[in-house]
Amino acid sequence: MGQQVRDGPVRRGGRFMNLAAHPDRVTIEVGGESIPVTARELQDTERDDAWATITAAAPQFTEYEQKTDRELPVIGQTRRT
């Protein structure tokens, strides 16, 4: 869910655009349970804190980040009731 460059300005990928267009149609799977969530792109300090948690758990994302000159988007989810 990142941005893509195709002979022009940077643009968001299709999966990211689907989340942005339909943030209330998202489900995640946790331990075999399907959980309805609302998705949103995290910004500023909230994004930075989440990114630090992600890269601590999965260091390969740090390597990916170093290969690009853009900030990778981070998506947060809030459980719907």
Tens place of pLDDT for every residue, the chain, 81 residues?
Answer: 444 444 445 566 788 888 989 999 999 999 999 999 999 999 999 999 999 999 999 999 999 888 888 888 999 999 998
Tell the residue number behind the tokens 């990114």, with chain if given. Answer: 51
CB 33 within 8 A of CB 73: no
CB 22 within 8 A of CB 13: no
Beta bridge partners of 35: 28
Strand (E) or helix (H) holding 36? strand 33-41
Tell me the pTM. Answer: 0.74
